[in-house]
C-alpha cells in the first residue's frame, strides 16, 4: 500500500451495508465493508458466489440492484458522496467517470446495433467528443487492445465477433470516456483459457496506460494475482482480509484465505490401464459426426476408457468434447464409426438401446440448474432411475434413495422432500450425481461438472467423485476445459481441437514435455498463482502470439516495449 499516497484516494467506502429483499424481509447481504481505492490502483475482490463481490462492485457506482438497497455506510467517489447523491448526479458519473465491464459481453451488447455505435454512445451523449472523433478514438482503443482489423471490426454486429474479442471491445467501450474507475465483473470467467490470456493482457495494458483505477471482481485466484495490486477477500458479505498481492499470496493470515489457496492442492494417484486383457468399458472407434446440414463436428475420434479409470477430455469450447459425449449417449448418432461397450457394439441411437444399455451411459451435467427439474422433489429425482431400471417400490425405494443421499453426503431426513431451487449449487450438483448413481452404472460422463461452481465447492465435488470411483469402481469420462481439474483427478487425458483428437495418453506423460503444440498452448495458458506469470508468459510468447490474436501483427503500444518485445 506504500505505492499509493493518501491524497490519491479515488474511492472510499466506509462501513457499507446493503440489504436484499427476500421472503418479505430485508436481509443483510453486505455487513459493513470498508474499501479504499487510489488512482491507478487495481483492487481484486475475491470470494465465493454469494459473498457480495458484484454487489459491492455495483455499489461503487452508487447503484443498488433490483431488490437490494444501500442501508448504511458511505461511498465517497472523488469527494462526492454517492449514497446521498441524486439519481441525476449519479447518472452523470456512470459511463463517463465510472465504467462497468460485465461478465458476459455477448449478453451485454445490444445485438441490433454495431459495436462502434454502442461504443460512441457515451462520449457523444456526454458531449466529450463528436461522433467522428469518438469513432477514431474507438479505433485507436481497438488497436491498443490488439483487436484484429481495428479500423473495421467496430462496424460489425456483436454476433459477428468472437467472445474474447467482444470482451475486449467492451473494455474499449468502458475506456471510451477515459473513466477514473472501471469495475470489471468477472470479465474472463466465461472464456476459454487461451482466450482469457489475451483479454487479461489487454485489460492490464490499458489500465496501466491510462492510470485508471479498477476493481477486479473474480473468483479465480490465479487471475486476480495477475491483475491486482491489492487483494481483498470477502466471505458472506464481510471482509476476511486485505493485503497487497505479493503478501496475500505468500503469507495469507486468515484460515479462510488459506483454505482458498489450498484448494488446488487436491491430487489423486494416477491409475494405469489394466494389463490382464480386460476390454475397455467404452471404446470410441473412428467416429465422425455432424449436426444436420453443417460441416463435420467430429473427425475420426477414437479413444478407450477402461473400467475404474478417469479419462479427461480437454479442449476449447467448440472442440467437440460435448459432441463426443452426445455420440456416446446416443443423442447424436455418429455418421461413421462405432461405440463399443465392453467389446459389444452399442446401437447408434439411444431409442434403439435397451434398458441395460441405457443405464450404462449416465451423465452429470454442467448446469445443475437446468439438469434438475425444479418442480420435482429430490426423492423422486433420485428415486425415478432406481424405480425405472430396478423396479424398486415403496420401502425398498425409500431405502435406496436414503442410501444414495448418504453416498453424496446429504442428510436424507433433511433433503428427501425438498425441491431443487431450495438447494445451493454444490448440493444440486450432488443430486445430479446421485441421479446418475441411482441407475447403478459402471460408466459416467461428467460434462464440465465443476465449472459452474466455486472452487471450494468444486473441490468437494471432485473429492466425492473420487471417493465414489474407489467405492463403486466407476469409470469417468471427464469433459473439462479446466486443466487444474485434469491435474487433480485424471488418469488419462485426451486433447481435442476442432473435432479431432490431437494427443492422448496417460496424465503424467501428457503433462511432461514434449507436447503437441496445441497441448502446449492449452497448458501454458492456465493461470498460475505466481503474480509474474502473465508477464513471463507474454515475454515468452510475444504479445502477438497470445490466443487468437496470433494472426494479427502489430507494433507494440508505446511505452510497453520493455514488457512485450516485438517478435
Partner 1 sequence: MSAFVFGYYAFLILASVILAYVEWRKWFMMVFSLTLISFVLGIVGGTPALRAVATFAIVLAVAAMVSYAFKEFLIQLAKPNLAKELRTAPLTAAFGMFVIFTYAIAGIFAPVIAPHGEAEVIAGAFAAPDANMLLGADQLGRDIFSRIIYGARNSVGLALVATLGAFILGALAGLLAAVKGGWFDTFMGRVADVIMSIPSLIFALLMLSILGTATWVIVFVVAIIYSPRVFRLTRAVAGNIVVMDYIEAAKLRGEGDWYLIRREILPNSMAPLIAEFGLEFCFVFLLIAGLSFLGLGLQPPTADWGSMVRENATLISFGDVTPLIPAAAIALLTVSVNFVVDWMLYRSSGLKEQ
Of 195, 177, 179, residue with least CA distance to 187: 195
What is the smallest separation between the CB atom of 348 and partner 1, expressed in angstroms? 14
User: According to the binding rule CB under 8 A, does residue 384 interact with partner 1?
Assistant: yes
Question: Is residue 434 close enough to count as binding partner 1 by CB under 8 A?
Answer: no
Task: Compare residues 21 and 291 and give the one whose CB is closer to partner 1.
Answer: 21
CB of 293 to partner 1, least distance (A): 15
Residue 160: CB atoms within 10 A of its CB come to: 12
3-state secondary structure 369-399: HHHCCCCCCHHHHHHHHHHHHHCCCHHHHHH
Q: Which stretch binds partner 1 (CB under 8 A): 173-181, 285-293, 376-384, 536-544?
A: 376-384
* Segment 463 to 502, residues that bind partner 1, using CB under 8 A: none
Spatial separation of the C-alpha atoms in residues 133 and 140, rounded to whole Å: 11
Least CB distance from residue 424 to partner 1, whole Å? 18
Nearer to partner 1 (CB atom), residue 29 or residue 206: 29
* Cβ distance to partner 1 smaller for residue 155 or 350: 350
Separation between Cα atoms, residue 376 and residue 166, nearest integer Å: 38
Q: Is position 350 an interface residue for partner 1 (rule: CB under 8 A)?
A: yes
CA dist., res. 467 & res. 461, Å (int):
10
* 374 belongs to the binding site for partner 1 (CB under 8 A): yes
Q: Which of 96, 329, 480, 485 binds partner 1 (CB under 8 A)?
A: 329
Give yes or no for a contact between 369 and 375, defined as CB atoms under 8 angstroms apart: no
Q: Using CB under 8 A, which residues numbered 58 to 117 contact partner 1?
A: 66-67
Strands 475-480 and 443-447: parallel
Q: Which stretch binds partner 1 (CB under 8 A): 214-222, 283-291, 308-316, 364-372?
A: 364-372
The separation between CA 427 and the C-alpha centre of its own chain, rounded to angstroms, equals 19
Q: Which stretch binds partner 1 (CB under 8 A): 50-58, 240-248, 335-343, 367-375?
A: 367-375
Q: Which residue from 27, 107, 376, 561 is in contact with partner 1, where contact means CB under 8 A?
A: 376
- CA 446 – CA 469 distance, rounded (Å): 13
Among 25, 86, 294, 370, binds partner 1 (CB under 8 A): 370
Q: Within 410-454, where are the H helices?
A: 412-415, 425-438
Strand order in the sheet with 344-345: 296-305, 282-290, 336-341, 344-345
Q: Which residues contact 107 (CB under 8 A, 6 or more apart)?
A: none
Q: Does 27 engage in binding with partner 1 (CB under 8 A)?
A: no
* Residue 504: burial class (beta carbons within 10 Å; 0-12, 13-18, 19+): buried
Q: Which residues contact 265 (CB under 8 A, 6 or more apart)?
A: none
Among 123, 163, 330, 556, binds partner 1 (CB under 8 A): 330
Within residues 439-468, the interface with partner 1 by CB under 8 A covers 439
Exactly one of 231, 282, 372, 486 binds partner 1 (CB under 8 A); that residue is 372
Q: Which stretch binds partner 1 (CB under 8 A): 123-131, 315-323, 370-378, 410-418?
A: 370-378
Cis bond before residue 305 (omega within 30° of 0) = no
Rounded least distance, CB 70 to partner 1, Å: 14
Q: In the bound complex, what is the minimum distance in angstroms from residue 126's beta carbon to partner 1?
A: 29
Nearer Cβ to partner 1 (19/196): 19
Rounded CA Rg of the chain: 25
Quick note: the x/- pattern for partner 1 over 162-201, rule CB under 8 A, is: ----------------------------------------
Helices (H) and strands (E) in the chain, counts: 22, 20
Cβ of residue 259: shortest distance to partner 1, in angstroms?
A: 31
Answer yes or no whether residue 353 interacts with partner 1 by CB under 8 A: yes
Identify which of residues 64 and 502 has a Cβ nearer to partner 1 in the complex: 64
Q: Does 361 bind partner 1 (CB under 8 A)?
A: yes
Residue 21 binding partner 1, by CB under 8 A: yes
State the minimum distance, in angstroms, from the CB of residue 406 to partner 1: 22
Q: Is 428 in the site for partner 1 (CB under 8 A)?
A: no
Four-point Cα dihedral 62, 66, 67, 72, nearest 10:
0
Size of the site for partner 1 (CB under 8 A): 31
Residue 80 Cβ vs partner 1, minimum distance, rounded to whole Å: 25
How many Å separate Cα 6 from the centre of its chain?
A: 36
Name the strand (E) or helix (H) holding 536. helix 533-541
Strands 492-497 vs 310-314: parallel, antiparallel or unpaired? parallel
Residue 347 or 506 with smaller CB distance to partner 1:
347
Stretch binding partner 1 (CB under 8 A), from 186-194, 217-225, 339-347, 350-358: 350-358
Q: Is 365 in the site for partner 1 (CB under 8 A)?
A: yes
- Angle subtended at Cα 186 by Cα 424 and Cα 215, rounded to the nearest 5 degrees: 120
Alpha-carbon separation of residue 359 from 349, 355, 362, 441, 531 (angstroms) = 14, 6, 6, 6, 47
**Is residue 371 a contact point for partner 1 (CB under 8 A)?**
yes
Helix (H) or strand (E) holding 338: strand 336-341
Site membership for partner 1, residue 417 (CB under 8 A): no
Among residues 223, 358, 446, 549, which is the contact residue for partner 1, using CB under 8 A? 358
Q: Which residues bind partner 1 (CB under 8 A)?
A: 21, 24, 66-67, 329-331, 350, 353, 355, 358-359, 361-363, 365, 367, 370-376, 380, 384-385, 388-389, 435, 439
Amino acid at each position: 500500500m506504500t505505492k499509493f499516497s493518501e491524497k490519491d484516494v479515488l474511492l472510499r467506502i466506509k462501513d457499507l451495508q446493503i440489504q436484499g429483499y427476500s421472503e418479505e424481509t430485508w436481509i443483510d447481504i453486505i455487513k459493513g465493508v470498508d474499501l479504499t481505492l487510489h488512482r491507478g490502483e487495481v483492487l481484486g475482490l475475491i470470494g465465493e458466489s454469494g459473498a457480495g463481490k458484484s454487489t459491492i462492485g455495483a455499489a461503487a457506482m452508487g447503484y443498488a440492484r433490483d431488490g437490494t438497497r444501500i442501508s448504511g455506510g458511505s461511498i465517497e467517489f472523488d469527494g462526492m458522496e454517492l449514497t446521498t447523491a441524486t439519481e441525476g448526479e449519479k447518472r452523470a458519473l456512470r459511463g463517463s467517470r465510472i465504467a462497468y465491464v460485465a461478465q458476459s459481453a455477448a449478453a451485454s451488447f445490444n445485438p441490433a446495433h454495431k459495436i462502434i455505435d454502442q461504443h460512441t454512445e457515451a462520449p457523444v451523449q456526454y458531449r466529450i467528443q463528436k461522433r467522428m472523433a469518438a469513432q477514431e478514438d474507438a479505433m485507436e482503443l481497438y488497436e491498443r487492445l490488439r483487436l484484429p482489423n481495428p479500423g473495421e471490426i467496430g462496424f460489425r454486429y456483436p454476433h459477428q465477433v468472437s467472445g474474447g474479442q467482444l470482451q475486449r471491445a467492451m473494455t474499449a467501450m468502458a475506456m471510451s470516456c477515459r473513466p477514473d474507475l472501471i469495475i470489471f465483473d468477472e470479465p474472463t470467467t466465461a472464456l476459454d483459457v487461451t482466450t482469457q490470456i489475451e483479454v487479461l493482457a489487454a485489460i492490464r495494458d490499458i489500465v496501466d496506460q491510462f492510470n485508471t483505477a479498477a476493481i477486479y471482481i473474480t473468483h479465480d485466484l490465479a487471475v486476480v494475482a495477475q491483475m491486482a495490486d491489492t487483494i481483498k477477500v470477502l466471505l458472506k458479505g464481510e471482509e476476511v482480509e486485505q493485503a497487497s498481492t505479493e503478501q496475500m499470496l505468500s503469507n495469507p493470515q486468515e484460515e479462510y484465505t488459506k483454505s482458498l489457496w489450498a484448494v488446488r492442492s487436491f491430487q489423486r494417484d494416477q491409475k494405469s490401464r489394466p494389463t490382464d486383457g480386460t476390454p475397455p468399458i467404452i471404446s470410441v472407434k473412428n467416429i465422425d459426426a455432424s449436426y444436420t446440414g453443417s460441416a463435420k463436428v467430429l473427425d475420426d475420434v477414437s479413444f478407450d476408457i477402461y473400467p475404474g479409470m478417469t479419462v479427461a477430455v480437454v479442449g476449447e469450447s467448440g472442440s467437440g468434447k460435448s459432441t463426443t459425449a452426445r455420440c456416446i449417449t446416443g443423442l447424436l448418432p455418429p455418421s461413421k464409426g462405432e461405440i463399443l461397450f465392453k467389446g459389444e457394439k452399442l446401437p447408434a441411437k439411444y431409442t434403439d438401446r435397451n434398458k441395460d444399455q441405457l443405464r450404462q451411459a449416465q451423465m452429470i451435467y454442467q448446469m445443475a440448474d437446468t439438469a434438475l427439474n425444479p418442480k420435482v422433489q429430490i426423492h423422486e429425482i433420485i428415486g425415478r432411475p432406481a424405480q425405472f431400471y430396478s423396479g424398486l417400490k415403496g420401502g425398498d425405494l425409500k431405502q435406496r434413495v436414503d442410501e444414495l443421499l448418504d453416498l453424496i453426503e446429504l442428510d436424507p431426513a433433511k433433503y428427501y422432500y425438498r425441491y431443487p431451487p431450495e438447494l445451493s449449487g454444490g448440493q444440486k450438483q450432488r443430486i445430479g450425481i446421485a441421479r446418475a448413481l441411482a441407475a447403478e452404472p459402471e460408466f459416467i460422463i461428467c460434462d464440465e461438472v465443476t465449472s459452474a461452481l466455486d472452487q471450494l465447492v468444486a473441490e468437494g465435488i471432485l473429492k466425492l467423485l473420487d471417493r465414489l470411483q474407489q467405492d463403486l469402481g466407476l469409470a469417468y469420462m471427464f469433459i473439462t476445459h479446466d486443466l487444474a481439474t485434469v491435474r487433480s483427478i485424471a488418469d488419462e487425458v485426451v486433447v481435442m481441437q476442432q473435432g479431432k483428437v490431437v494427443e492422448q495418453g496417460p496424465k503424467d506423460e501428457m503433462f511432461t514435455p514434449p507436447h503437441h503444440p496445441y497441448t502446449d498452448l492449452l497448458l501454458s495458458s492456465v493461470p498460475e498463482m505466481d503474480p509474474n506469470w502473465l508477464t513471463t508468459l507474454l515475454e515468452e510468447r510475444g504479445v502477438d502470439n497470445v490466443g487468437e490474436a496470433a494472426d494479427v501483427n502489430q507494433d507494440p503500444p508505446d511505452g510497453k516495449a520493455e514488457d512485450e518485445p516485438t517478435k
